[in-house]
Amino acid sequence: MFKQNSLFLYFITASIALSGCLRTHNENMNPPKAKKIAKEMVIHGNTRTDNYYWLNDRDNPDVIAYLESENAYTKEMMKSTETLQKDIYNEIVGRIKQNDESVPYDYNGYSYFVKFEEGKEYPLFCRKQLGDESSNQIFLDGNKMAEGHAYFQIGGWDFSTNNKILAYSTDTVSRRKYDIYFKNIETGIIADEVISNTTGNIVWANDNKTVFYQTKDETLRSYRIFKHIIGTPVADDNMVYEEKDPTFSTYIYKSKSDKYLIIGSGSTLTSECQLLDADYPDGKFKIFQPRIEGVEYGISHQNGRFLIRTNYEAKNFRLMETSENNTSIDNWKEVIPNRSDIMLENFDSFENFFVVTERKDGLRMFRIFNTKTGVNHYLKFEEIDYFVSSAGNPDYKAIKFRYNFTSLKTPSSVYDYDMISEDQELLKRQEVVGGYNPDEYVTDRKYAIARDGVRVPISIVYKKGFSINGDSPLLLYGYGSYGYSVESTFRSSRLSLIDRGFAIAIAHIRGGEEMGRHWYEDGKMLNKKNTFFDFIDCGEYLIAEKYTSSEKMFAVGGSAGGLLMGAVMNYRPDLFKGIIAAVPFVDVVTTMLDETIPLTTGEYDEWGNPNEKEYYDYMLSYSPYDQVEAKEYPAILVTTGLHDSQVQYWEPAKWVAKLRDLKTDDNPLFLQTNMDFGHGGASGRFEQYKEVALEYAFMLMLLK
């Protein structure tokens, strides 16, 4: 139920809805009140009554009326902040370089880059032939393609090996269901053969006519892989693989060496790969290593061998190798062992090098291996709290490794690192229009002691002059699920809060993987409450250290982080002045019992299977929707999207309806549903900041 924006429902009677929700003076405006239709759900001898289950029907006009009345209520109650919202929006957009261009990367005879033009929402995807500066070509114009669509997203794109046919995918609904198109790059003609209901991923074989793609089932699980021959009817496409286990999803990619097509299947805890020579796409895929429950592995081809990242007998993962001809696990040989204090997160292979991404004490490191000399070394970074990531390294024969560096105060910076000479070059640093000096800001890493004695990292940023006296505002962010590590990255939009006196902090709570695999395992399944208690303990630490107070501290999280927000405010409603929950996964039990909902069956290894009583009882004990009580809650802003494919809009809608019915305070409770978008919110590069401006204005309003 991963990670951003969707909201919910209202209905009472038409006359009451109109008189109670559409008044022009907010001091007289009553909040929407959803009608109750009791639905009893019985399992394990336990009966739950859900009065708002009826909201689970986006085709019901009463549901749409309720959502629209909630939007009208939010707009009216936030009317006094409209000027502030516009100011914040203009500030944020004003910091973005309008005419901008990415650092180009070279691949298969061309240099590729992305451009943005002034006032335009969508990117231009461009390329030019190496050695010919006059050959600039725009092969996808997002702005023209988006015309007539409230939402638009380019998914994947890839050229045939001979560079003559472009395959690309688009989504115009925000349900993450993409249509694939084929464009003759020489004539500009788009073929009639359109492939629907895909993940958007496209992989070419080496024959310039065969492509592979993935389709989704009714729960939006990627479960089938098809082969399409250019120029033939889509209806004739052959299915080459079907993932029949509903807890697994499947995908396909090509090795960087271009030698193999690789089908991957994976659940939360188990992996399997299959191989096919990319020169012979009509052949049969061969299992690399049959799936073993609890064993994860990922592979990359390099010079007659495969490198393998795996947790096989290695909690923090290790790197193995095997020959092309003997790929079963019995033939794997260790290259880098498991280490208790270092997580092996990823690796990137080149013809004569490979780069391993490791994490120690919550911070990423790059380790460079030269396969010719057998020597390896680490890159060094100077800041105390930062994030680095591999970026744009498609060229198998490259001797330079490209990476991004950023921190909470340092804008995204692109470097090329020469793996032979060990020299590096800064190619580009994100420009903040209007001037920005990182030396005017302070970043730090602190550690809160959780109630069970564990040290939980907190990253924090504020402007010099910030008063650490218990009287300053602070926004605390958390996620804590799926082993997803929350990184210390720069966002210029945050300056609109920081420059107004806020500190912004990230709680690196259990459920993520910042401190190693155990950090994830200690925050999932029957250990999930550690995630919530860590966040609460981080908040209490920040108050005790006088960074803020409960009257000036806010919390924000989205998707599974929205679950975090819901649980935290049930446990400690007094700790925060306000809560912002984006596309929150709050109806945990009902969703995890409904196998027709996207992502449910594939996430039993994350949350547990409530069809088993032990997991049902544990989930029920923290499920935010089920645990809403008649008590005082902080001010709450909930955002969602009607077309959300990951956290269905009715979860936050039901939650808000129940909170309205039971809470005993007069604090604001707002639901904002975007009627055009889904989990990721708006698709344009500027439009998305309208919601950010709303969130910032909500907090600033509460401080008055």
Q: β-strands 137-141, 124-129: how paired?
A: antiparallel
Q: What pLDDT shows up at residue 521?
A: 96
What is this structure's pTM?
Answer: 0.87
Q: What pLDDT shows up at residue 600?
A: 72
Q: Which long-range contacts (CB under 8 A, 24 or more apart) does 34-40 make?
A: 34/9, 34/10, 34/66, 34/657, 34/660, 34/661, 35/11, 36/661
Give me the residue label for tokens 């790969």. 273
Distance, in Å, from the CA atom of 636 to the CA atom of 648, rounded to the nearest integer, reads 19
The candidate with the shortest Cα–Cα distance to 358, out of 327, 372, 337, is 337
Cα distances (angstroms) measured from residue 409 to each of 174, 234, 488, 523, 635? 32, 49, 9, 29, 29
Distance, in Å, from the CA atom of 42 to the CA atom of 47, rounded to the nearest integer, reads 4
List the Cα angle 498/511/412 in 5-degree steps.
Answer: 40
Residue 3 has a CB neighbour count (10 Å cut-off) of 20
pLDDT < 50 positions in the chain: 1-25, 681, 683
- Assess contact for 547 and 605: CB atoms under 8 A: no
Give me the residue label for tokens 């591999």. 390
- Assess contact for 274 and 285: CB atoms under 8 A: yes
Give me the residue label for tokens 């405006």. 29
In the β-sheet with 165-171, what is the strand arrangement from edge to edge? Answer: 153-159, 165-171, 178-184, 195-204, 210-216, 222-229, 238-242
Tokens representing 629 are 């009580």
- Give CA torsion, residues 15, 21, 27, 33, to 10 deg: 90
Distance, in Å, from the CA atom of 513 to the CA atom of 535, rounded to the nearest integer, reads 15
Distance, in Å, from the CA atom of 376 to the CA atom of 422, rounded to the nearest integer, reads 11
Q: What pLDDT shows up at residue 8?
A: 25
Give me the residue label for tokens 């040989």. 333
Q: Where are the beta strands (DSSP E) in 328-464?
A: 333-336, 343-349, 353-360, 363-370, 376-378, 387-390, 400-406, 413-418, 424-429, 441-449, 455-463
Q: Which residues pair with 424 in a beta bridge?
A: 417
Q: What pLDDT shows up at residue 677?
A: 62
Q: What pLDDT shows up at residue 598?
A: 62
Backbone phi, psi, residue 495, to 5°: -60, -25
Longest distance between any two alpha carbons in the chain, whole Å: 80
- Give the active site residues: 559, 644, 679
- Assess contact for 488 and 508: CB atoms under 8 A: no
Q: Which residues pair with 455 in a beta bridge?
A: 449
Query: Which helix or strand (DSSP H or E) is residue 658 part of?
Result: helix 650-662
- Assess contact for 640 and 680: CB atoms under 8 A: no
End-to-end C-alpha distance for the chain, whole angstroms: 35
The candidate with the shortest Cα–Cα distance to 436, out of 85, 116, 86, 96, is 96
